[in-house]
Chain A
Amino acid sequence: MKVTPRMVEEAQEAEARDLLARRAARLRERGESTVEEAVHWIAEFPLGEERYALPLESLRAALPLRMVTPVPLSAPAVIGVLRFQGQVLSALSLASLLGGHGWRQDPAVLLVVEKGDGELCALDCEAIPRPTTLPLAAVEAARARTEGAVMEIFTSDRQLIHLIDLKRLFAERDTGGRHGR
């Protein structure tokens, strides 16, 4: 049978349709599995010997720790104040907020975070955080069983992450001044 150009074109179109259909099927499968593996994005960083994390959505910026003005007579957790995009923010010691924590190297980074009430503040940090994920189910389970601001969650590779709930952290901490002085 003589193959006409028209038939070639039709064959190519059919082949392309098959290809697209296969791709679409693969994407649909991926979408379904994604739902099963819903994740919670976090910014993970070291604090002393342990690994801590903040929800990535609360992180606004990571800045070098400089140009911080100490505030005499402020609460122990307050390192000082700094300017950020025209605002005056507090720089707070995360180790102090967590109740006294050793550290491996002097913090050199400030993480500007949203505290959960729409306000910003900066937390000190030993290194620039790494964006990564935790299984959403594990985060929700940890949130349900934990009353405090720090939730212990294991990653898929069995690493322990201390995930900080900023809203709870600031609700339970008093960062007010040392009024007696």
Chain B
Amino acid sequence: MAVDAMLQGLVVGFAAEAQEVIQKVTMDLLEIERDGLESEALAKIYVRLGRHLHTLKGSAASLGLQDLSDIAHRLEDALAPVKATTQKMPRGLVDTLLHGLDLFMLRAQAHADGRGEQLPDPASALAQLVADAPAPELAAATRSPSGGAEVTAPAAASPGAAEAAALAMTEALSETAEAGWRVSARQVTALMREVERLREVRLRVEERSRELERVATLLARQGLLAETAEARTLLSGTGRSLRTDGEETSDIVDALEEGLKAITTRPVRTILEPLQRMVRDLSRQLGKEARLSVVGAEVSLDRRLLEKLQGALVHLLRNAVDHGLELPGERELAGKHHEGALTLRVEQQGNLLYLEASDDGRGIDLGAVRRTAEKRGVASADETSRLNDNQVRDLIFRPGFSTRADVTDTSGRGVGLDAVRAAVESLQGRIEVASTPGQGTRFVLTLPVDLGSSPVLVVRALEQLVGLPMLAVEATQLARLEALRVGKRRAHLEYQGQLLPVVNLGARLGLCAPAPPAEGQPLLIVQSGGRRVALAVDAVVGDRDLVIRPLPAEVREVPSWQGAATLSRGELLLILRPDWVVGDSEKTTVGAASRRALVVDDSLTARALHRAMLEAGGFTVHLAASGARALERLQADTYDVVICDLDMEEMDGTQLIAHLRDRKETRALPVILVSAHDSASARERGLQAGADGFLSKRECAAGRLLAEVLDVMSRKGSRV
């Protein structure tokens, strides 16, 4: 069918839009043929289906694509009877609609490619659709008086269709405008680096703004208020402008990052959803029943990687349906549900992508693999006799291997898993297989990834923000004392009829002593590898879609962290490993009997150095960045000694000591002051304030701090 040349650009956009709509319709059709859907859910799906088909019809008609409009119209007709009665859709009708959608998309693509004129007359295809349509009596019961079976394009005149057409044209225009750009991966990577640099510049602008504020404050302290008034006003104005510029730059950086992410990545679901249809069609063809579940579909990955993986996933799923799943009768005899379960699980940890494809079928028959390998010449009898089970299982990845005796459309040509392995290895990844006879098979693909983002839940433990992959978070709730079972060693949460161990994140990270959750404290139900715990955190900050980067060598081996992501202000957020969170924390919890020290210093490096020295002496060390934080820690925990900086901004060491000496519980607590000022006056000031010891930071060389701490504790009668 000829398409107006002026509309050709719009048709390209329409085809892209139609593909998205058809994907949604397909997903709804697969859902609607499931057993056990409630009528309300059914009704909603029917409404959506009707709306989508109507959109397709109206958009096609508005572009003069009468053949497509007719097909969509015919599909609407086929849908109408079951839609009106909200009944479960018969499989035959699902087949008809899916076939009609295929036809629609093939022709839409041909129009978009400028091949519309070469398309055959749609009459025969339409006749086939009519033949496949539901029984006349069923359709007649709900058919409109105007005779909807006629090939017409009434939707073009309706207001809804006009809107849909307008939308299609707008989107088509924008698609056309974007379609002209081709950039290399190198250019995009270079742009990403520039955006990173821009973010760092933005942070420097913020720093300059703070410096200006400090200068204005210093000027005000000079006492020459009148003389410096003009300069201060000018500085304050410049500071404000800089702040505004910084905020605007921040918005631009965020927009650029989002834009680049959209260009370079896309959600995994965009390749997984079409596989649902493939699984459904193949199962039908083989007389089997299968349902594909996808976990982690929202993870976004490098588009190039996804394109290369798509073929491998198709192979794995076809293989699972054809070889793995049994026929429904066989499954029921084996005590399984007649519908086979296929699962695709996607998870990104740091710069590694884990893709798991599993089925609950018959598993791999190692004897059959051995025999086939020998028969097909993949391996000699001598070789197979020397292989262990894992090595035999790996034979399925060898070229030319297939256990199927006959060649079918689906398999039997010995091409498949070797191609999958080749594809994975070409991406510098690896593939492993695990299988249990009678229970199923699991393929795990591990691939390195440079780009991509994952949904992360940001939580706080004391002052430390950390991220937890959303995939691992089953639920969040606030602690209620009646749901907790607090024992001597640890607390448990009653959750869905189970007792889950409660893990305090702060304590698990060594930031504070373990304590049972308080009423109202946020608890996250975290699961990984079949284990679940209730993770107690101090606050749930919110969810973010973040790019997780690998950690540097010095911290890569720390088992608690899988990577780091950048938050909007440029700070790094550490991302937890869910398997570590649910791991056995009891054996790794620091012994309660060890001596405990609290280090209070507003210098990050000083805290780190004191911690290193004290830990070397066998102390369990907790850190506080200010006097106020130290008081909070001292109210929650008990310590054997406090090491405190004399000069801190908000509350200095002498003020902290005054607070400690005021409280009965901390009156006798040994406190050692440290200071960068190595002067007699500083030492005198500290000791007069009630410090039990004083050291200059210059004196805090290896051993000296520890000796002072032990000496003070001994003098105060503490356990040493």
Which residues of A does B touch, CB under 8 Å? 48-49, 64-83, 85-90, 92-93, 95-96, 99-107, 119, 121, 124, 175-181
With A64-B207, A69-B572 known to touch, is A93 a contact of B193 (CB < 8 Å)?
A: no
For B572, the chain A residues whose CB sits under 8 A away are 67, 69, 81-83, 88
Contact between A119 and B553 (Cβ–Cβ < 8 Å)?
yes
For B306, the chain A residues whose CB sits under 8 A away are none
Contact between A85 and B193 (Cβ–Cβ < 8 Å)?
yes
For B606, the chain A residues whose CB sits under 8 A away are 103, 106
Count, chain B residues at interface, CB 8 A: 55
CB of B510 within 8 Å of the partner chain: yes
Contact between A85 and B698 (Cβ–Cβ < 8 Å)?
no
Contact between A177 and B701 (Cβ–Cβ < 8 Å)?
no
Contact between B554 and A78 (Cβ–Cβ < 8 Å)?
yes
For B603, the chain A residues whose CB sits under 8 A away are 106-107
For A89, the chain B residues whose CB sits under 8 A away are 552
Contact between A77 and B570 (Cβ–Cβ < 8 Å)?
no
Contact between B554 and A175 (Cβ–Cβ < 8 Å)?
yes
With A71-B574, A74-B554 known to touch, is A102 a contact of B701 (CB < 8 Å)?
A: yes
Nearest neighbor of A84 in chain B, beta-carbon distance: B200
Q: Which of B374-382, B430-438, B556-564 contacts A (4 or more CB under 8 A)?
A: B556-564
A42 to chain B, nearest CB (A): 22
B111 to chain A, nearest CB (A): 44
Contact between B700 and A102 (Cβ–Cβ < 8 Å)?
yes
A153-B612 Cα distance, complex, nearest whole Å: 29
For B678, the chain A residues whose CB sits under 8 A away are 104
Contact between A179 and B559 (Cβ–Cβ < 8 Å)?
yes
**B510 is contacted by which of A65, A73, A87, A90 (Cβ under 8 Å)?**
A73
A77-B615 Cα distance, complex, nearest whole Å: 12
Contact between B510 and A72 (Cβ–Cβ < 8 Å)?
yes
**A85 is contacted by which of B200, B588, B701 (Cβ under 8 Å)?**
B200
Determine which residue in B554, B606, B676, B696 has the highest number of CB atoms from chain A within 10 A of its CB, and name it: B554
Contact between A100 and B702 (Cβ–Cβ < 8 Å)?
yes
**A88 is contacted by which of B464, B564, B698, B703 (Cβ under 8 Å)?**
B564
With A86-B196, A181-B510 known to touch, is A76 a contact of B564 (CB < 8 Å)?
A: no
Contact between A96 and B612 (Cβ–Cβ < 8 Å)?
yes
CB of B704 within 8 Å of the partner chain: yes
A173 to chain B, nearest CB (A): 9
Nearest neighbor of B508 in chain A, beta-carbon distance: A181
Nearest neighbor of B608 in chain A, beta-carbon distance: A79
10 more CB-based (< 8 A) A-B contacts, given A90-B552, A95-B609: A70-B464, A75-B554, A76-B611, A79-B608, A81-B574, A83-B196, A102-B699, A102-B704, A103-B697, A106-B697
Is the contact region of chain B dominated by helix, strand, or loop, or is it mixed?
mixed
B19 to chain A, nearest CB (A): 35
For A99, the chain B residues whose CB sits under 8 A away are 702
Contact between B697 and A67 (Cβ–Cβ < 8 Å)?
no
With A85-B197, A102-B697 known to touch, is A76 a contact of B616 (CB < 8 Å)?
A: yes
For A80, the chain B residues whose CB sits under 8 A away are 604, 608
Contact between A65 and B554 (Cβ–Cβ < 8 Å)?
no
Contact between A79 and B574 (Cβ–Cβ < 8 Å)?
no
For B558, the chain A residues whose CB sits under 8 A away are 71, 73-74, 176-179
For A83, the chain B residues whose CB sits under 8 A away are 196, 200, 566, 570, 572
For B616, the chain A residues whose CB sits under 8 A away are 76, 100
A51 to chain B, nearest CB (A): 14
With A69-B574, A70-B464, A73-B560 known to touch, is A181 a contact of B609 (CB < 8 Å)?
A: no
Q: Which 5 A/B pairs are nearest by Cβ-Cβ distance?
A: A100-B702, A177-B558, A76-B612, A86-B196, A106-B603
A140-B296 Cα distance, complex, nearest whole Å: 57
Nearest neighbor of B611 in chain A, beta-carbon distance: A76
A67-B572 Cα distance, complex, nearest whole Å: 8
**A69 is contacted by which of B509, B573, B612, B676 (Cβ under 8 Å)?**
B573
Nearest neighbor of A125 in chain B, beta-carbon distance: B605
Contact between A79 and B604 (Cβ–Cβ < 8 Å)?
yes
For A85, the chain B residues whose CB sits under 8 A away are 193, 196-197, 200
**B193 is contacted by which of A78, A79, A86 (Cβ under 8 Å)?**
A86
Nearest neighbor of B560 in chain A, beta-carbon distance: A73
CB of B203 within 8 Å of the partner chain: yes
A181-B278 Cα distance, complex, nearest whole Å: 47
CB of B482 within 8 Å of the partner chain: no
CB of B549 within 8 Å of the partner chain: yes
A30-B200 Cα distance, complex, nearest whole Å: 44
A35-B603 Cα distance, complex, nearest whole Å: 45
With A100-B613, A100-B703, A106-B606 known to touch, is A67 a contact of B571 (CB < 8 Å)?
A: yes
Residues of chain B from 695 to 718 with CB closer than 8 A to chain A in the complex: 696-704
A93-B554 Cα distance, complex, nearest whole Å: 12
Residue-wise, chain B 573-609 has the 8 Å CB interface mask toward A (1 for contact) of 1100000000000001010000000000101111011
